[in-house]
Amino acid sequence: MGSDVRATVLWGLLVTTIGGCGWPQYESRMQASAEYFDYLGKAQSVLMDSDDDSVTSYGVQIRVPSRFRVIPSTTRRNRDGEEVAIPADQDRARQPRFARNGLPGLLGSWYSVVRNDSGKKKRGISRMFLFGNYQRYRDRADGVNVDPQTFADDLVNDLADAVGVAPPGEAEWQYEKVEKIGGYYIASGGSTGVKDNHFTLVKMESRGTEYRLYLYPARRSTDRDEAEDVPAPDEELQFALLFVVPRKVSEPARLESGIKYCLEWFEAVTDVPSFDGQGDGGGSDVGF
What is each CA distance from 196 to 75, 86, 88, 170, 231, in whole angstroms?
A: 37, 34, 29, 23, 12
pLDDT value at position 280?
42
Cis ω before 217 (30° cut-off from 0): yes
CB neighbour list of residue 103: distance below 8 Å, 6 or more residues apart? 89, 95, 96, 129, 131, 155, 158, 159, 162
Of residues 269, 249, 264, 267, the one with CA closest to residue 44: 264
pLDDT value at position 6?
46
Q: What is the mean pLDDT of the chain?
A: 81
pLDDT 10s digits, 193-247 = 567 899 999 999 999 999 999 999 987 544 444 445 454 555 799 999 999 999 8
pLDDT 10s digits, 128-147 = 999 999 999 999 999 999 99
Stated pTM of the model:
0.80
pLDDT value at position 281?
42
- The DSSP code sequence of 29-60 is HHHHHHHHHHHHHHHHHHB-SS--TTSGGGTE
CB neighbourhood size of 195 (10 A): 13
pLDDT 10s digits, 83-129 = 899 999 999 999 999 999 999 999 999 999 887 666 677 777 899 99
The answer to whether 126 and 244 have CB atoms below 8 angstroms apart is: yes
Q: How far apart are CA 184 and CA 198, in angstroms?
A: 16
Write phi, then psi, for 81 (nearest 5 degrees): 80, 10
pLDDT value at position 40?
84
What is each CA distance from 31 to 24, 136, 195, 264, in whole angstroms?
A: 11, 47, 21, 22
More confident call, 55 vs 10:
55
pLDDT value at position 224?
45
Residues paired with 268 in a beta bridge: 60
Taking 50 as the threshold, does the pLDDT of residue 13 lie above it?
Answer: no
> Per-residue confidence at 275, pLDDT binned at 50, 70, 90?
confident
The answer to whether 105 and 95 have CB atoms below 8 angstroms apart is: no
